[in-house]
Amino acid sequence: MVTRKIEILVGLFLLSGLAAFLVLVFNVANVDVKTGQSQYTLYAKFSNIGGLKVRSPVKVGGVVVGRVKAITLDEQSLLPVVEMTIDTQYNQFPETSSLSILTSGLLGEQFLGLTPGFYDEDIAMLVDGDRIDDTHSALVLEDLIGQFLYSVKSKDD
């Protein structure tokens, strides 16, 4: 016969399994639960996105305001188009804002840095579906080295 003590212990066992699962999902994988918090979508075209990936963060002064949702190649211009979702609580970015692809640390992951632009009466706020035109592409190390070598060489001549 199953005693009460065994039932309690088995219940605790199942609960601790569930607790481990929740720890892994929310603390380790950091799955975002959609808590009814709405988001809006922005687009930006770059000439080179470097190592930017889907789910890379979009940061304003280091604060994560959204994430990269999709990266596609524009069929006409053959330039990468980055689609990002921004939390609606951050909806006060003027149209003059600029985007750049930055790297955290020397060898760290890449993220999108959003720099809010100036604002006056003629300038609207960014809304869902807007495109940010002022973009700065990723610094590719090989290109930098190439430029550096080229400048050293031209000085020698």
State yes or no: residue 78 binds other proteins (CB under 8 A). Answer: no
C-alpha span between 57 and 87 (Å, rounded): 12
**Interface stretch with other proteins, choices 1-9, 38-46, 87-95, 130-138 (CB under 8 A):** 1-9
59 touches 113 (CB < 8 A): yes
* Interface residue with other proteins, options 33, 73, 78, 107 (CB under 8 A): 107
* Interface residue with other proteins, options 13, 70, 72, 88 (CB under 8 A): 13
C-alpha span between 3 and 17 (Å, rounded): 21
Which residues from 38-77 bind other proteins, rule CB under 8 A? Answer: 55, 57
Q: Looking up tokens 């039932």, which residue turns up?
A: 7
Look at residues 61, 73, 70 and name the one whose alpha carbon lies nearest to residue 42. 70
Binding site for other proteins (CB under 8 A): 1-2, 6-7, 9-10, 12-14, 16-21, 23-25, 27-31, 55, 57, 105, 107, 109
